Amino acid sequence: MDMSDRCDFRQWLASQGLKLTAVRLAVLEILGAASCALRAKEILEVIRSRRRVNKVTVYRILEDFCNRGMVRRLSLEGRVSHYELACEHRPPHPHFQCHTCREVQCLEPVPLTRVWTELQGPVGNRADHIDIRVEGLCHKCREEA
């Protein structure tokens, strides 16, 4: 997936009525530069390599971004949530999760029209979203094995 992001994060924050702060901007920039979905802890580590920041501040910002639909929290196996940008350039897509290192890779969006139609079930169901997660051994872990 092409992870180069064309979003103007400053403008995005302004359009959400959010004050531009260094930490908010850092969270968006880190997610925007990531080639895979990140754990909150990983986002925190990158910010901490640049500045002092309270863990709670970062977690609250992530929570707020999720509530606003700016960031997606992926529903995956395991207790640790993974996050990714949910901007207009990044429509929902399937994920690959390695069962050894737990890394979550973003896969290309694929047309799921047929699956979507079939999986809604009986007429009258209203399906809102679909998550596809492929599990296996990632290429890095395969090389080490």
List beta partners, residue 133: 95
* Beta carbon nearer to Zn ion, 61 or 87: 87
Q: How many residues does the chain have?
A: 145
Place of tokens 């530069």: 33
What whole-number distance in Å separates Cα of residue 54 and Cα of residue 35? 25
Contacts with Zn ion by CB under 5 A lie at: 5, 7, 84, 87, 89, 98, 100-101, 106, 138, 141
* Beta carbon nearer to Zn ion, 54 or 75: 75
- The 3-state DSSP class for residue 71 equals strand
Provide, rounded to whole angstroms, the least separation between the CB of residue 103 and Zn ion: 5
Provide, rounded to whole angstroms, the least separation between the CB of residue 125 and Zn ion: 26
* Beta carbon nearer to Zn ion, 7 or 53: 7
Angle between helices 22-33 and 40-48 (to 10 degrees): 120
What whole-number distance in Å separates Cα of residue 49 and Cα of residue 19? 23
* Beta carbon nearer to Zn ion, 54 or 69: 69
